[in-house]
Amino acid sequence: MEVTPHDRTLQLITALDYNARQIAQVLGISTRGASYKLSREKGNQFTESDFEKFKNFIENLKQAVQQ
């Protein structure tokens, strides 16, 4: 079974222990939108673009810590 962008994004969110508000800040969406994506409500789910935003966010955190 192929791991979807939604599943990969959820893995990052779980590792960061982020809530809907924090997810919304990283993705630049509303808290409600983040909640919908977390629960797959109304057919919403995380996309490849969302995964890339989280990946870039983590890279930026790593760089900030190393400085």
**pLDDT tens per residue, the chain (67 residues)?**
789 999 999 999 999 999 999 999 999 999 999 999 999 887 899 999 999 999 999 999 999 998 8
Give me the pLDDT at residue 43, please: 85
Q: What is the model's pTM?
A: 0.87
Gap between the Cα atoms of 32 and 64, Å rounded: 29
DSSP code of residue 29 = S
The string over 31-55, giving b where at least 16 C-beta atoms fall within 10 Å of a residue's C-beta and e elsewhere, is eebbbbbbeeeeebbbeeebbebbe
Q: Which domain holds residue 49?
A: 5-66
Q: Which residues, other chains included, contact 10 with Cβ-Cβ below 8 Å and sequence gap of 6+?
A: 38, 46
Total count of domains within the chain: 1
